[in-house]
Amino acid sequence: MDPLTLVVTALATGASSGAGQAMTTAATDAYQALKQLVVRKFAGKHAAQVALTEHETDPEVWRAPLSKQLTETGAATDPAVVEAAQRLLTLLDQAGARAGKYSVDLSGAHGVQVGDHNTQINRFGPN
């Protein structure tokens, strides 16, 4: 699963699980932690904040706008955000997590970093 899909899926699953049934305390905490990381990335970006808020109540309609904002702000590839999304989905779907459903494969990706305190210079084009 690519990082963007993972984060959007985690946000949608966390929102719907919280509304439809009682989540465990660990899952609730994981969802709130993910949302807080995304909120920090969206700071000062009104359209992004609206997309996140509206996505929580209507994920299907707001999936594309939220995906756009996650990409533009870099939240979709932020290692902390991706890790928080994986943690939440693991708590909410343990069988899927064991089957590797939420593994992130960045092979073939361009301009993506994983890890902390990296420096990156991108030069795209023919080798």
pLDDT at 84: 95
- Residue 118 is predicted with a pLDDT of 62
* Burial group, residue 31, by CB count within 10 angstroms (0-12, 13-18, 19+): buried
The domain limits of the chain are 3-98
Show the low-confidence residues of the chain (pLDDT under 70): 18-22, 94-118, 127
The pLDDT value recorded for residue 24 is 81
Give the global pTM: 0.71
